[in-house]
Amino acid sequence: MAIEPWRQATKTYRGGRMVIDELTENPPTEGVAHAVRTTARHDWAAMAIAAGLASGLDEPAIRVGHRLEIEARRSNQLAEHTAAREPRPRNVLSKIKTISR
pLDDT in tens, 33-72: 999 999 999 999 999 999 999 999 999 999 999 999 999 9
- Asked whether the beta carbons of 53 and 67 are under 8 A apart, the reply is no
Compute the half-sphere exposure of residue 63: CA atoms within 13 Å on the CB side of its CA.
3
Higher pLDDT, 96 or 18: 18
pTM over 0.95: no
- Indicate whether 97 pLDDT > 70: no
Amino acid in position 98: T
Which residues, 6+ apart, have CB-to-CB distance to 94 below 8 Å? none
Please, what's the largest Cα pairwise distance for the chain? Answer: 65
- pLDDT at residue 4, rounded to an integer: 87
Please write the tens of the pLDDT for every residue from 2-45. 888 888 888 898 888 889 999 999 999 999 999 999 999 999 99
Query: Degrees (nearest 5) of the Cα angle 23, 26, 82?
Result: 70
